[in-house]
């Protein structure tokens, strides 16, 4: 396990040395973002103060056994840390982002709200009969457990309370006919800001970021779209978001690897990059309060060991890059 403190200010993350008092204050009340190392997929848990959690995506390829392993791992994590899951957000209808949610719900843990709220876009792939069989099975499996909130082509603010110090907004682009109609999640906690992007392509990113020109998408932390694929992370979007920290869920194959061109774009934008293939599980903690004219983040990276072995993933210290 590696722990470091970073200060993010004006789109740049630099090493920080907070006092013991400041560290204790952050430990006492913070928001945490946990990105699990799942190989070919994505799973992100947001932990609010008060041990309330949301799950943004949860899937590992389209293999049932791997998604069952991931679902159990998420429930174990909730249990180990005395957490309660109250909402899930599948960014888009792809197996590597959603199928473990089925396991999380079907195990009927007392760590999961019943019914649980599901926030999703109105992507027609969720409901078309001609789509892959797994989507129909997924809908049938999860529907008894959920209350759905569907967001369309507009700026939406979540009505479900996220706490006195937090605000969450969701964005989608209903005009696109492409497969990747991802729900964007923008989260504020005090002065800290996060942007989660699902599997958006460059055009879709631009449509969201510049289509809602009344909204400032500047974020301290950016969840890199599409696992770092060259088809996402548009330079103009990076300039607009201006993140100090970037996190990516990555695997060893070309479809889930942080491509060199994407890494170069992030580096050119001065973002501090963490990816699961190299760093293992990634946890960001922040109280969102001012620190030396910036925002303080505690970054914890840890190789998940047995969990990764069960999913047949391999930590590659190069991230698959030459």
Kindly tell me if the per-residue pLDDT of 108 is higher than 90: no
Residue 95 and residue 62 in contact, taking contact as beta carbons nearer than 8 Å:
yes
Average pLDDT rounded to a whole number, residues 14-19:
97
Residue 151 and residue 121 in contact, taking contact as beta carbons nearer than 8 Å:
yes
Which is it for strands 290-291 and 294-302: parallel, antiparallel or unpaired? antiparallel
Give the residues across from 163 on adjacent strands. Answer: none
For 147, other C-beta atoms within 10 Å of its C-beta total 11
d(CA 190, CA 166): 6
pLDDT at 93: 87
Confidence band (pLDDT; 50, 70, 90) for 255?
Answer: confident
In the chain, the percentage of residues whose pLDDT exceeds 70 is: 86
What's the token pair of residue 121? 């876009």
pLDDT digits (tens, 9 = 90+) for 122-177: 777 777 666 667 777 777 777 777 777 665 555 565 655 677 788 888 888 766 65
Q: Which CATH architecture group holds 2-310? A: 4-Layer Sandwich (3.60)
pLDDT digits (tens, 9 = 90+) for 42-59: 999 999 999 999 999 999
Confidence band (pLDDT; 50, 70, 90) for 23?
Answer: very high
pLDDT higher at 254 or 186: 186
């Amino acid at each position: 396990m590696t722990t470091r403190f970073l200060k993010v200010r004006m789109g740049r993350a630099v090493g920080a040395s907070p006092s013991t008092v400041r560290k204790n204050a952050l430990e006492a009340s913070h928001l945490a973002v946990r990105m699990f190392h799942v190989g070919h997929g994505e799973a992100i848990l947001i932990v609010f103060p008060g041990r309330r959690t949301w799950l943004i995506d949860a899937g590992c390829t389209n293999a049932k056994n791997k998604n069952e392993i991931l679902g159990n791992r998420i429930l174990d994590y909730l249990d180990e840390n005395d957490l309660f899951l109250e909402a899930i957000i599948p960014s888009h209808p792809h197996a590597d982002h959603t199928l473990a949610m089925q396991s999380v719900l079907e195990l009927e843990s007392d760590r999961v709200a019943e019914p649980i709220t599901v926030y999703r876009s109105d992507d027609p792939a969720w409901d078309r009969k001609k789509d892959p069989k797994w989507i129909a099975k997924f809908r049938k499996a999860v529907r008894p457990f959920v209350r759905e909130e569907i967001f369309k082509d507009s700026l939406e603010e979540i009505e479900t309370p996220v706490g006195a110090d937090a605000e969450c907004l969701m964005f989608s682009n209903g005009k696109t006919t492409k497969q990747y109609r991802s729900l964007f999640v923008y989260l504020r906690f005090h002065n800290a800001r996060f942007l989660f992007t699902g599997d958006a392509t460059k055009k879709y990113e631009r449509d969201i970021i510049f289509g809602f020109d009344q909204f400032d998408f500047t974020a301290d932390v950016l969840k890199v779209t599409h696992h770092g694929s060259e088809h996402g992370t548009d330079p103009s979007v990076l300039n607009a978001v201006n993140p100090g920290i970037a996190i990516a869920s990555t695997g060893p194959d070309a479809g889930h690897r942080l491509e060199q061109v994407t890494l170069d774009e992030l580096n050119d934008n001065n973002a501090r990059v963490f990816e699961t293939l190299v760093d293992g599980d990634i946890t960001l903690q922040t109280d969102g309060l001012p620190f030396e004219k910036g925002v303080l983040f505690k970054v914890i990276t840890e190789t998940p060991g047995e969990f990764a072995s069960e999913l047949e993933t391999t930590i590659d210290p190069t991230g698959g890059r030459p």
